[in-house]
Amino acid sequence: MPTLLPRFTIDQPETLAEASQLLQAYGDEGRAYAGGTELLLAMKQGGLRYAHLVDLKTIPGMNGIDTVNGRLRIGALATHLSVERSSLVRERLPILARMEHRVANVRVRTTGTLGGNLCFGEPHSDPATLLLCLDARLHTTERDLSLEEFMVGSYEVALGPGEILESITIGTLADSQRAAYEKFQVHEYPMLGLALVLDLDGRAEKVMRARVAVGSVSPTPRRSLAAEDLFTGEVGDTAGRLHQAADALADDAELIDDLEGSADYKRHLIHVFLERAWKQALNTQA
Amino acid sequence: MTRIALRTHINGREYSLDIEPQESLAEVLRDRLHLTGTKVSCDVQVCGACTVLLNDLPVSACTLLAYEVRGREVLTIEGLADPSGELHPLQKAFIEENAFQCGFCTPGMLLAAKSLLDQQPNATDAEIVEYMEGNICRCTGYRPILAAIHRAQGGP
């Protein structure tokens, strides 16, 4: 027998202001509703309970994808599938399209939204892990935030009462930058996501700067500044420090033993997937 | 709003339904309309048994609210064959390739495959596997399903 959802009402605001007011009035009894792929599951399984869902999809213009000041702008309600298939995204930031293509399965990508994924604070988020290594800004009805400021903890983000995520802007990569996203998954959610962005010198012989993050192994995706430092230098030398960098990344992720595997196993995965991401990044055009 | 007046098209037919907001599409299809070809298995959007098409794209009826199909077109397995009774090329190919055993995953497999071939008629082996990876079959080992999708592509 399928599990039935508990009863709730659905509001259909036509403006962000109306949605904000509703959410503020409902307080803990209400929640913003986008694709529902995570929220409805959690409600079905009894983990979350809300008497009122405020459907943001009835507000026009929240799922667009365009550019603003040279940055890619993605409406919070753009689905994973529309990001994956957007010719603009494929042209300006192909790594984002490639990552989105590998989120969950095609049904979840059809329904689930990028903004919803970030607002749910899912620790196993592919998008959050990659965006942490890109120049991403989150634009809410009240302020602009970095992803680091936005992610507070497992299933916890910095949105205040009635505050709604409107869009995400992401800087595109320069020709001298290379990016890779690698993941490992055997169950419903990824067991590891690993993002790497390299800034190379003009001849692609030196790493000037790097950003690296792991997701799915900590309450929120984590960067490691120590690992990033180990990447700078001649490409040949960096290759020799990959295992050291993987250890730094694993240390900073504060791995724990859980049903998805032991901390040792996760550390092993980080070593394997960091090497894959490194090779992938060097072989990929920005 | 406690109840919702839902107008939608299912398998080409117009429906006006009075539903509650929390009802899933699978509940409405199976329990209200008795379209029981849509199967519910994992109930968490992972297995693909409940796949139906919403405006030609696959969704999990187990977790999608019926509310979401207002004004849109739903295709379930009951609507896949031609109204004359002539089976869809994918259905014929699944029979010819023995692409099912217990059959529980088959409605979802057929609809996912339909959406793929409508978008990419010439999908390669790798593209088929990638698109279909969210539809789980515990009987066939997938080979006959892959063969059936290729057969439906027209092939020799």
| Residue-range domains of chain B with CATH | 4-79 (3.10.20.30), 89-152 (1.10.150.120)
Cα separation, A127 vs A94, whole angstroms: 13
User: What CATH code is carried by the domain that includes residue A257?
Assistant: 3.30.390.50
User: Within this chain, do residues A21 and A90 fall inside the same structural domain, yes or no?
Assistant: no
H/E element, A126: helix A126-133
Whether residues B59 and A8 touch (CB distance < 8 A) is answered with no
ipTM confidence score:
0.96
User: Within this chain, do residues A220 and A142 fall inside the same structural domain, yes or no?
Assistant: no
Residue-range definition of the domain harbouring residue A13: 9-58
- The residue with tokens 């090329």 is B89
User: What CATH code is carried by the domain that includes residue A108?
Assistant: 3.30.465.10
Give rounded-to-5 percent helix, strand, coil for chain A. 40, 25, 35
Cα separation, B39 vs B22, whole angstroms: 19
User: Within this chain, do residues A79 and A45 fall inside the same structural domain, yes or no?
Assistant: no
Whether residues A105 and B46 touch (CB distance < 8 A) is answered with yes
Distance (Å) from the alpha carbon of A164 to chain B's nearest alpha carbon? 21
> Quick check: A250 contacting B, CB < 8 Å?
no
Task: For B2-46, write each residue's pLDDT tens digit.
Answer: 899 999 999 999 999 999 999 999 999 999 999 999 999 999 999
- Model pLDDT, residue A281: 96
Which whole-number Å values give the CA distances from A49 to A7, A112, A117, B117, in the listed order?
9, 19, 18, 39
Sorted by sequence, the CB contacts under 8 Å of residue A43 that are 6+ apart come out as A5, A6, A8, A49, A50
For the CA atoms of chain A, what is the radius of gyration?
19
Task: Give the E-state strand segments of A13-135 in sequence order.
Answer: 30-33, 52-55, 65-68, 71-75
H/E element, B53: strand B51-54
Whether residues A10 and B4 touch (CB distance < 8 A) is answered with yes
Task: For A264-274, write each residue's pLDDT tens digit.
Answer: 999 999 999 99
User: Within this chain, do residues A74 and A163 fall inside the same structural domain, yes or no?
Assistant: yes
What predicted TM-score, i.e. pTM, was given to this entire model?
Answer: 0.96
User: Within this chain, do residues A45 and A95 fall inside the same structural domain, yes or no?
Assistant: no
- Model pLDDT, residue A284: 76
At A67, is the secondary structure helix, strand, or coil? Answer: strand
> Quick check: B148 contacting A, CB < 8 Å?
no
pLDDT > 70: what percent of chain B? Answer: 98
Nearest alpha carbon to residue A195 among A171, A221, A170: A221
Which whole-number Å values give the CA distances from A213 to A148, A175, A234, A281, in the listed order?
12, 21, 21, 14
User: Within this chain, do residues A144 and A206 fall inside the same structural domain, yes or no?
Assistant: no
Residue A1 lies in a domain: no
Q: Is the pLDDT of residue B88 over 90?
A: yes
Query: How much is the average pLDDT of B48-60?
Result: 98
Q: What is the DSSP letter of B110?
A: H
How many structural domains comprise chain A?
A: 3
User: Within this chain, do residues A163 and A187 fall inside the same structural domain, yes or no?
Assistant: no
- Model pLDDT, residue B1: 53
Which whole-number Å values give the CA distances from B20 to A9, A74, B1, in the listed order?
8, 32, 9
Whether residues A2 and B22 touch (CB distance < 8 A) is answered with no
Distance (Å) from the alpha carbon of A110 to chain B's nearest alpha carbon? 7
Task: For A202-216, write each residue's pLDDT tens digit.
Answer: 999 999 999 999 999
pLDDT lower than 70: segments of chain A: 1, 285-286
> Quick check: B112 contacting A, CB < 8 Å?
yes
Residue A4 lies in a domain: no
Task: For A142-165, write each residue's pLDDT tens digit.
Answer: 999 999 999 999 999 999 999 999
Distance (Å) from the alpha carbon of A279 to chain B's nearest alpha carbon? 22
- Model pLDDT, residue A2: 73
- Model pLDDT, residue B156: 46
